[in-house]
Chain A
Amino acid sequence: MQRIDSNHMNERVFELTGYRREDFSVCLGCKICASVCTVNDLAINVNPQDILLSLFMGKAVDKAHPLFRYCTNCYQCTNACPWGIRIPEVIRAVRESLGMETLFERVFKGSVGIWGRVYEPYIFLKTGLFLAREGYLRYMPRWTGYMSFHLPKKVKIKTGS
């Protein structure tokens, strides 16, 4: 656990989520969110309430909490929560304010910030090395297809059937 200026961090989280502190400090501690959390399908013990509790106690958040890595933003917790606390948004905000996002996420957001859409050349330019190193490219068998859009017609590579 890393100690940082927790109060400052917390304020930033509230700002990023567009949430006021009082909106998620209503947490009753009923652990309904943990019971429906899809991350727990992977046999990982997570309780989103841990994060909320350390936030409203003004304590440093445990960076190693599995939710920061595995949360899929499915909003099941928000649906089930009696108070409708938007936990995925809180998690995203903590990730952003603690600099826990991957390079890809940062660049993706940057692209949206600049062009208002996902502009692949920018993303590949910025993250190509990262994607190659982390082995993400094999999940994109047709990535050349995207690239061909920017190539002269003659050189266009035929892909697929």
Chain B
Amino acid sequence: MKILIIGGGISGISAAKVALGKRHDVTILESQGVPGGLMARIANCRVGFKTFFDEIREKKGLTVINGACIEKVKRVGMGFSVGLDNGQVLDADRVIISAGLTPYDPVEYKGKRVLTSLEYDSVIDQRQGELPSDFHKIAFFLCVGSRSKEYPLCSSVCCSYTIREIKWTLQRAKPEITVFYNDLRFFGQEFFMERAFRDSGVRFIRANSRYFDEDDDGVTVRFYAGGGIKEERFNYAVLAIGLRPNPELKKLASLFGFSLNEYGFVREDRPLTTDAEGVYVSGGALEPMNIKDSILTGFGAGFLASMDGDTRDDLISYNNIIYREEPPAFDISDSGHNIYLFYLATENPGHAYLYEYVSARYIEAARMLKREKKDVYVVTRNMVTPSYAEIDYEQARREGVVFIHLEEEEQAFFDNSVFKITGCGRDITIENPRIIRLDDYIDGLKEKEFLSLYRSEPQLRWSPTKWNRKRYHIGFIRHPRDKRWEDRERLGAIGEITLNMIEERVLPQVNEERCSGCGSCKNACPHEAIEIELKQKDLAIFGPNPTTFIPIAHIREDTCAGCGLCVSTCPSDSISMEAQEFLGLENS
């Protein structure tokens, strides 16, 4: 089958990887000079993209067409005949739209000292040479060009991107950094980064500003914080720009006959499928999403496009290695209160991964209570409602749910059935509310093995759903978030399984004759994949016990990542690396 992928960004490449693994002919169409998309514009992600792309660059069946746009499309039977603007005509049976996102251009604020986050990225790029000499005070401003009247979605990646830019900045210099935010919408473990940066002196201020008075050697910013207006001078101000749908999607939609939603993204008919026959969609064409999710949806769309006919049976056959869990019920039993107060804040960064899920549940519950004519308050340090969840958040505000955003200095406490907020110039009291706290919900989740908590960022990125070789997590147990992700993650997981089946596995083998069971490999293993087993062995000498048990290292194949640390640690060279067939699907 011939598969045409429109867009050579990270999700397009991921889709191509799966489709190539299924031995289809893949054509990647990139409108720019080189593939890469937004990911390759980030200096620190360029290498990651290149490595990922290099794995398939030389594969048979892959064609990459750079710098070309689609002129006309004709449906031929079940497939398409696609004419390009350079006169070329391509035949395709399936099409994957991965046109990606377009960064917002804040022309009204941009200047020499007021940079967008992508411009700032090239300032701190090591390949651009030394940092500017005046690099002492930097301010970051979040939510520029998103969460607004003209574009109500949250871009969902700018916060994470900003915290990484802070990391990359601090790796090179030690400027004073201030972050002006509305809500910090991080993903799982990034809340630990936030805590670490707070401890090391990065200032976080819950306020935003559009007052940039720029001159040759700096920019004066005015902002309202701590109960008063303040003016401060920074060397550079960085605007974390929002990501909007690619304007080319409109043209593609009319050419291929799929439809867009009111925000300009592709309408998802079934997961990762448009409403046009044979056209699939992945990555930023769906909604603003980060690199991890782009890869995940890319795998999913690649799998869908490379399947013939009905995929339902295939989905079922994977059920024994795909693991999902139903989230614990979230209910507010009626207690006769007239005032409800949702307290969405936690001091523990280890609990903050739940912000996203709990924010959505709180908004849902608050809107329901508001419809029953109750007074509903949501007191929050962080409202994490990325992409489409922001619409529900907006609706809740319009319906009269009162959201009170706690400032950094403000303290909220519950005293004698009165809820009080004090600090920085405003005192708010809410009398006799029914309080629902984030921390209460967490108590029921202590034992859960959330994939996103156990994996590092790169691990989650390149193998987005893998728990071990026989278990792939999707849905709530992967990372607690909106339900619409579960079906996408199911497809993504199958794509990933397909890739892992193709990949040759290199696993360590223990030479049992030589192993002395010293356990040094067990201590060295970072994945806890080695255990020392007692093996029965016949003794060659006479005596009362002809058999005995000797300890021998045993490698658990499902957990082993094949890193090879045990091989290098073994004092008697009794572990060696050998290629193996993938065992993931032997039960099915």
Give the complex CA separation of A82 and B147 in angstroms. 7
Q: Which residues of B contact A45 (CB under 8 A)?
A: 224, 227-229
Q: Does A112 contact B (CB under 8 A)?
A: no
Give the complex CA separation of A83 and B404 in angstroms. 17
Report if A31-B208 is in contact (Cβ < 8 Å); known contacts: A45-B227, A45-B229, A83-B148: yes
Are B402 and A29 in contact, CB atoms less than 8 angstroms apart?
no
Are B402 and A57 in contact, CB atoms less than 8 angstroms apart?
yes
Are B227 and A26 in contact, CB atoms less than 8 angstroms apart?
no
Q: Which of A34-42, A98-106, A127-135, A140-148 contacts B (4 or more CB under 8 A)?
A: A34-42
Residue-by-residue, is B6-36 near A (CB-CB < 8 Å gives 1, otherwise 0)? Answer: 0000000000000000000000000000000
Are B182 and A56 in contact, CB atoms less than 8 angstroms apart?
no
Are B208 and A30 in contact, CB atoms less than 8 angstroms apart?
yes
Task: Find residues 185-220 in chain B having any chain A CB closer than 8 Å to their own CB.
Answer: 207-211
Are A36 and B210 in contact, CB atoms less than 8 angstroms apart?
yes
Nearest residue (CB) in A for B383 is A28
- Most-contacted residue by chain A among B149, B207, B229, B426 (CB, 10 A): B229
Q: Does B577 contact A (CB under 8 A)?
A: no
Report if A35-B208 is in contact (Cβ < 8 Å); known contacts: A30-B182, A82-B148, A84-B149: yes
Q: Does B582 contact A (CB under 8 A)?
A: no
Give the complex CA separation of A67 and B222 in angstroms. 18
Are A40 and B405 in contact, CB atoms less than 8 angstroms apart?
no
Q: Which residues of B contact A30 (CB under 8 A)?
A: 143, 182, 207-208
Q: Does A22 contact B (CB under 8 A)?
A: yes
Are B400 and A25 in contact, CB atoms less than 8 angstroms apart?
yes
Q: Which residues of A contact B209 (CB under 8 A)?
A: 31-32, 35-36
Q: Which residues of A contact B143 (CB under 8 A)?
A: 30, 82
Are B211 and A35 in contact, CB atoms less than 8 angstroms apart?
yes
- Among A27, A35, A57, which residue has its beta carbon within 8 angstroms of that of B222? A35
Are A34 and B224 in contact, CB atoms less than 8 angstroms apart?
yes
Are B147 and A28 in contact, CB atoms less than 8 angstroms apart?
yes
Report if A31-B225 is in contact (Cβ < 8 Å); known contacts: A80-B210, A82-B147, A82-B149: yes
Report if A83-B149 is in contact (Cβ < 8 Å); known contacts: A32-B210, A35-B208, A35-B211: yes
Which size bracket describes the interface of B in this complex?
20 to 34
Q: Which residues of A contact B450 (CB under 8 A)?
A: none
Q: Does B223 contact A (CB under 8 A)?
A: yes
- Most-contacted residue by chain A among B147, B398, B399 (CB, 10 A): B398
Nearest residue (CB) in B for A79 is B210
Give the complex CA separation of A135 and B222 in angstroms. 35
Q: Does A120 contact B (CB under 8 A)?
A: no
Q: Which residues of A contact B225 (CB under 8 A)?
A: 31
Give the complex CA separation of A83 and B208 in angstroms. 14
- Among B147, B149, B398, B404, which residue has its beta carbon within 8 angstroms of that of A22? B398
Task: Find residues 338-397 in chain B having any chain A CB closer than 8 Å to their own CB.
Answer: 394, 397
Give the complex CA separation of A47 and B400 in angstroms. 21
Report if A31-B207 is in contact (Cβ < 8 Å); known contacts: A47-B224, A82-B149, A83-B148: yes
Nearest residue (CB) in A for B147 is A82
Are A32 and B208 in contact, CB atoms less than 8 angstroms apart?
yes
A38–chain B nearest beta-carbon distance, Å:
10
Q: Does B403 contact A (CB under 8 A)?
A: yes
Are A26 and B398 in contact, CB atoms less than 8 angstroms apart?
yes
Q: Does A15 contact B (CB under 8 A)?
A: no
Q: Does A12 contact B (CB under 8 A)?
A: no
B122–chain A nearest beta-carbon distance, Å:
27
Give the complex CA separation of A30 and B225 in angstroms. 10
B178–chain A nearest beta-carbon distance, Å:
14
Q: Which residues of B contact A53 (CB under 8 A)?
A: 404
- Most-contacted residue by chain B among A30, A34, A46, A47 (CB, 10 A): A30
Give the complex CA separation of A32 and B397 in angstroms. 18
User: What count of chain A residues pass the 8 Å CB interface test?
Assistant: 26
Residue-by-residue, is A1-36 near B (CB-CB < 8 Å gives 1, otherwise 0)? Answer: 000000000000000000001110111111110111
B184–chain A nearest beta-carbon distance, Å:
13
Are A28 and B182 in contact, CB atoms less than 8 angstroms apart?
yes
- Most-contacted residue by chain B among A21, A26, A50 (CB, 10 A): A26
Give the complex CA separation of A23 and B395 in angstroms. 10
A70–chain B nearest beta-carbon distance, Å:
13
Q: Which residues of A contact B221 (CB under 8 A)?
A: 35
Are A56 and B229 in contact, CB atoms less than 8 angstroms apart?
no
Give the complex CA separation of A26 and B428 in angstroms. 19
Q: Which residues of A contact B394 (CB under 8 A)?
A: 26
Q: Which residues of B contact A80 (CB under 8 A)?
A: 210
Give the complex CA separation of A18 and B207 in angstroms. 29
- Among B147, B222, B227, which residue has its beta carbon within 8 angstroms of that of A40? B222
Q: Which residues of B contact A31 (CB under 8 A)?
A: 207-209, 223-225
Q: Which residues of B contact A57 (CB under 8 A)?
A: 402, 428
Give the complex CA separation of A34 and B225 in angstroms. 10
Give the complex CA separation of A57 and B224 in angstroms. 21
Give the complex CA separation of A149 and B229 in angstroms. 48
B440–chain A nearest beta-carbon distance, Å:
25
Are B399 and A22 in contact, CB atoms less than 8 angstroms apart?
yes
Give the complex CA separation of A11 and B426 in angstroms. 24
Residue-by-residue, is B125-165 near A (CB-CB < 8 Å gives 1, otherwise 0)? Answer: 00000000000000000010001110000000000000000
- Most-contacted residue by chain A among B221, B222, B399, B404 (CB, 10 A): B222
Are A21 and B208 in contact, CB atoms less than 8 angstroms apart?
no
Are B405 and A29 in contact, CB atoms less than 8 angstroms apart?
yes
B141–chain A nearest beta-carbon distance, Å:
10
Q: Which residues of B contact A26 (CB under 8 A)?
A: 394, 397-398
Give the complex CA separation of A80 and B141 in angstroms. 14
A42–chain B nearest beta-carbon distance, Å:
10
Give the complex CA separation of A46 and B425 in angstroms. 11
B181–chain A nearest beta-carbon distance, Å:
9
Give the complex CA separation of A25 and B393 in angstroms. 12
Give the complex CA separation of A106 and B209 in angstroms. 35
Nearest residue (CB) in A for B222 is A35
Q: Which residues of A contact B402 (CB under 8 A)?
A: 25, 56-57
Report if A25-B147 is in contact (Cβ < 8 Å); known contacts: A45-B229, A47-B224, A80-B210: no
Per CB-CB distance, the 7 closest pairs between chain A and chain B, nearest first, are A82-B148, A34-B224, A22-B398, A35-B209, A30-B208, A80-B210, A29-B405
Ordered by A's residue number, 13 sampled pairs between the chains whose C-beta atoms are within 8 Å are A25-B397, A27-B397, A28-B405, A29-B182, A30-B182, A30-B207, A35-B207, A35-B221, A36-B209, A45-B224, A50-B426, A80-B210, A84-B149
Extra pairs beyond A31-B224, A45-B227 (7, CB < 8 Å): A21-B400, A29-B403, A30-B143, A34-B207, A36-B209, A57-B402, A82-B147
